Structure 1
């Protein structure tokens, strides 16, 4: 799951198109170079591809109206809600301590994002809520994956018809505007964070129930902040340390008490 908002150096629609197309090409390359004896036993689904596209599109446009902190809270909050109730619907028994663990992990995220919060836009909140729900449903679709790389590859490939429709819409509305920096960021987001990252995520989902998978995603903002410190010269913050410890404690409770 991505966390950074779409960059102001290009329009959100173009960012989504380049991101998805880059992921398709990267995954096609990985499918080509993997051992020939590895046969694809599953090939994703059209429904998962639809949720993937909805997530990417609503995510990109939501950040036109939200700051990073508010966006992260709405996104991960909706992911938690959808995955929790989906797990309950599927008969997963959730211990009270596991529920408290989820709330504690959310508190850690809230503490991390507190300095970035501002009064959110209703449009932005709705778009990000849709994005969070779509990501949760895409995640749930991958829990039964027997071939994560193949499933992810075919899921991205099936977004092509929707990408064509989006491209046509952007052309008609004349909303395409690009820059070299924006294109490079979109390619990196697609090829690395989306293509490779989502295949790894589908692989990690095996053996996890919905509540556990949802809680683990609350580490994404902390990991993104850590990456900023290590690779982007962001300043060290004790807030990051404290929030990460709170989040990790909550996740540990979830993993231990949910089954």
Structure 2
């Protein structure tokens, strides 16, 4: 029963991550909001939502979390928003989650985690599925955008790794969001001359921050204490697949046979890493 609950919670968290990609693309492409404003409203609304949840639990909003995690959260959110201005969804997702995998798996191996031959096979199968899904549709991104998305992926990997030690995930997430908002405000001020207020874009940012980010990240923090870094990294390979199907549902993007096959490869590969036991010895 506990395992089933963990799987369901993980599915919800991955859905929230995919929703962030969808909301960001819709805001930056279909509205006039700029990436600095999107980042600010996303983090601020997330901080407000989490503060409300913490207060309702009779806790203090800043009693958990730390500045290092807040900086990692800010770098991820800002890099994510700015990178998506000049790259396709596929290229961005591939760079983002590729960087996450390298960061978390490298740390896991450094700390002594090991994968069996079948688990490595599952990880490679998931990567092949991602490449099949994303590369044929990905325009070559600008170097600056690629570097920003890579930085965002590394920052998210660091944030996830630091979250593994959180005893109180909701309070920790709240503290991190609150500490990140001044950084987002500085970013907004720096880019203010080029910023434009747009109600629809702000609504997307608030939905991303208060729901997909605040609630999704708190949920992710609560799951991380139960799974190894390597499995946590591989689990996130499913997010680009979910994002593709979200684009099909909400943006009328075509789902081809290639998309279906690559999705099966990613999901199957993730399942192999999570469920296959490490070989003895």
Q: TM-score, normalised by structure 2?
A: 0.83
Structure 1 spans left out of the alignment, 5+ residues: none
**Structure 1 stretch 227-236 or stretch 156-165: which is displaced more?**
227-236
Matched, 1:199 2:218: yes
Task: Give the Cα separation in 1 of the matches to 2:61 and 2:49.
Answer: 17
Aligned match of 1:119 in 140, 149, 160?
A: 140
**Structure 1 stretch 138-147 or stretch 225-234: which is displaced more?**
225-234
CA displacement at 1:229 relative to structure 2:
4.1
Post-superposition CA distance 1:177-235 (Å, at most 9, x none): 12121111111111111111111111121221111001110111222233344455555
CA displacement at 1:168 relative to structure 2:
2.4
Kept in 2: contact 1:94–1:257 (CA 8 A)? no
Matched, 1:99 2:120: yes
Structure 2 spans left out of the alignment, 5+ residues: 1-16
Post-superposition CA distance 1:139-178 (Å, at most 9, x none): 001012211111111110111221232132123xx12112
Kept in 2: contact 1:40–1:147 (CA 8 A)? no
Find the counterpart in structure 2 of residue 134 from structure 1. Answer: 155
Post-superposition CA distance 1:28-68 (Å, at most 9, x none): 1222334x4x7999611111111000000111111122111
Find the counterpart in structure 2 of residue 59 from structure 1. Answer: 80
Find the counterpart in structure 2 of residue 14 from structure 1. Answer: 37
CA displacement at 1:95 relative to structure 2:
1.9
Question: Which 4+ residue blocks in structure 1 deviate beyond 6 angstroms?
Answer: 38-42
CA displacement at 1:19 relative to structure 2:
0.5
Task: Give the Cα separation in 1 of the matches to 2:101 and 2:208.
Answer: 23
Q: How many residues align?
A: 255
Find the counterpart in structure 1 of residue 55 from structure 2. Answer: 32
Task: Give the Cα separation in 2 of the matches to 1:254 and 1:39.
Answer: 38
Q: TM-score, normalised by structure 1?
A: 0.90
Find the counterpart in structure 1 of residue 190 from structure 2. Answer: 169
Aligned match of 2:246 in 227, 234, 237?
A: 227
Task: Give the Cα separation in 2 of the matches to 1:247 and 1:41.
Answer: 38
Q: Point out the structure with the larger helix share.
A: 2
